[in-house]
Chains A and B, each alone.
Chain A
Amino acid sequence: MTVNAAALTKSEQMPPAFDVERVRADFPILEENIHGNPLVFLDSAASAQKPRAVLNAMRYLYEHEYANVHRGIYYLSEVATNRFEAARTTVARFLNARHDHEVIFTRNATEAINLVAASWGRAFLQPGDEIIVSEMEHHANIVPWQMLRDEKGLVLKVAPISDEGVLRMDAFEALLGPRTRLVAMTHMSNVLGTVTPARDIVARAHAVGAKVLLDGTQAATHNVIDVQDIGCDFYAITGHKLYGPTGIGALWAREEILDAMPPYMGGGEMIDKVTFEKSTFAPLPNKFEAGTPAIAEAIGFAAAIDYINDHGMAAIAAHEQDVLTYANQRLATVEGLRIIGTAPGKASVISMVADFAHAYDIAMVIDREGVAVRTGNHCAQPLMARLGVDSTVRASLGMYNRRQDIDALVKSLEKVRRIFG
């Protein structure tokens, strides 16, 4: 993962001592009891919980500052517009974008990827052009490219991974060629926790003239992201995994690429002038934001990023790594349990299968202990096929998880083993 010191905020350069109990106190839902047990939330990779700062920011907007944004000649609209555009600035700084207008608000990372496929892909790819994805992609970074392949007559290639879940760079390199136009790759697997070598991927892809899209859905939650340092062309993130609300995400792309791309959707906000004969389009970023945007959600997203920055992403990552290491040690003591995905430097996702119970049974039993994990294929069916499993139990960590959560997980897994073993 790349870290550009110049991109770090003051709080990241001098992170305060990370106090997980103080963090937990900011997340009201963590006080809930589930089936009579304290909630142990280990499903942040699906969607993270929200701190009061996010809830308060959205509530304050609706109670005091809400109006539709852009072009309203009255006080509230100006305030809301300023807040909305400030949120864009916050996201841009979070990614270390060169310009605020390189950040396009979307509903989520899925829409961000689809935007690239529908706009850049349709405009610039020709029959026979090649797109490379990896074996460990989320469906959101497979299906849009399949749809585009079928529409445009493209070739979709798949870079393999090792049994440990590491991207095989030699095999990836072998797939690159003169017809490779795009490498669309996860920056961190939502199933394996593998962090891909983004800079290396970009360097090799750029060497053959291909552009690189990184699905940063998971990576941005656990690491400092610097798109300039990585050197990629597109970066997709989502708000709700970053402790923000649902319904808001962002696509970052370099200005010159976005300028060249045609609009994705037509409607209000994205136009310059409309007649029945012709329309001209607004400059960036509005060109890609047709219709009334998710105003409160964008502001909530920015509040979440501010909250992360207050604690320092580097400090959060270090804390999560400590809990992950502890989890790996403790889970190794559960007889019959196997962790899927052991790539060096992996981040806060632990996929497991057990020889004593199906993933579904595990999740059902441990739910009764208040432990929330996710089971299934995690929107990565090709990866499941590659791993030879139909389902895993996935425990994923957020900044609020602590070692006690792992103890509760292990205790509940031992109960499962007693029941089914």
Chain B
Amino acid sequence: MGQFDPDMMAHIKFNEFVENLRDLDDETRFEYILDLAKKHRDDPFPETDMSAKHEMHGCQAKVWIIHSRKEGRNYFRGHSNAAIVNGLVTMMTDSFSGWADEDIADLTIDHVRQLNLGSLTIQRQVGMMAMLKYMKKLSLDKVA
């Protein structure tokens, strides 16, 4: 067994999404995103956090993202009032939770492309990039 690598562990969720989405056709990928949104029904996003303070702009639907830090790592939770966006924001926040500041700072559109969202990427790239940018900002703000 190799040495425990906290960065590698933190990136497991992102790699899992990349792996899961790799060979899906558009229809199945779409259902996968919706399932992600439904998963969070059991652990709902706090209503008190659906506030202007946590709302990000750049998507047609409302999107809220909250951020916390633990042991120098970034943790995100997100929610949207639109189901598909909820799935996408869940994927983004789950993917990059646990990442170190420098890894969050290095996030680019390539990470979104790696998720292989197919036609969803083309349609929602602007929104996904807005989420990425917002998460980077939250990380930076907390650092400051």
Contact = CB atoms under 8 A, between A and B. Distances in A.
Interface string B55-95: 00001111000000000000000000111110000000000
B119 A357 contact: no
A360 B30 contact: no
A327 to B, nearest CB: 23
Contact of B83 (A35, A358, A376, A390): A358
Interface in A186-208: none
Contacts of A367: 123
19 contacts: A35-B26, A35-B119, A358-B81, A358-B83, A358-B85, A359-B60, A360-B59, A360-B61, A360-B84, A360-B85, A361-B83, A361-B85, A364-B123, A368-B26, A390-B62, A391-B60, A391-B61, A419-B34, A420-B83
Nearest to B33: A364
Contacts of B81: 358, 390
A74 B84 CA distance: 59
A368 B83 contact: no
Most chain-B CB neighbours within 10 Å: which of A361, A390, A419, A420? A361
A367 B120 CA distance: 11
B55 to A, nearest CB: 11
6 closest pairs, A vs B, by CB? A358-B82, A360-B82, A360-B61, A376-B60, A361-B83, A361-B82
Contacts of A391: 60-61
Contacts of A375: 60
B60 A357 contact: no
Given A35-B119, A364-B123, A419-B34, A357 B62 contact: no
Residue with the greatest number of chain A CB neighbours at <10 A, chosen from B30, B81, B82, B85: B82
Nearest to A375: B60
Contacts of B123: 364, 367
A315 to B, nearest CB: 36
Interface string A16-45: 000000000000000000010000000000
Nearest to A368: B30
Contacts of B60: 359-360, 375-376, 391
Contacts, number: 35
Contacts of A361: 82-85
A375 B82 CA distance: 12
Nearest to B124: A364
Contacts of B83: 357-358, 361, 420
Contacts of A390: 62, 81
Contacts of B61: 358, 360, 391
B50 to A, nearest CB: 12
A376 B57 CA distance: 13
Chain B residues touching A, majority SS = helix
Interface in B5-43: 26-27, 30, 34
Interface in A339-376: 357-361, 364, 367-368, 375-376
B73 to A, nearest CB: 31
Contacts of A364: 84, 123
A391 B60 CA distance: 8
Contacts of B82: 357-361
Nearest to A391: B60
Nearest to B120: A364
Contacts of B30: 368
Contacts of B26: 35, 368
A262 B81 CA distance: 49
A107 to B, nearest CB: 24
A361 B83 CA distance: 6
Contacts of A358: 61, 81-83, 85
A368 B27 CA distance: 9
A364 B82 CA distance: 10
A35 B25 CA distance: 12
A368 B28 CA distance: 13
Nearest to A357: B83
A376 B60 CA distance: 6
Contacts of B34: 419
Given A357-B82, A360-B60, 18 more contacts: A35-B26, A358-B81, A358-B83, A358-B85, A359-B60, A360-B59, A360-B61, A360-B84, A360-B85, A361-B83, A361-B84, A361-B85, A364-B84, A367-B123, A368-B30, A375-B60, A390-B62, A391-B61
Nearest to A376: B60
Nearest to B59: A360
Nearest to B31: A419
B86 to A, nearest CB: 9
Contacts of B27: 368
Interface in A59-97: none
Q: Max chain B CB contacts within 10 Å: which of A364, A368, A375?
A: A364
Nearest to A36: B26
Contacts of A360: 59-61, 82, 84-85
Interface in B79-118: 81-85
A146 B89 CA distance: 36
Contacts of B119: 35
A13 to B, nearest CB: 44
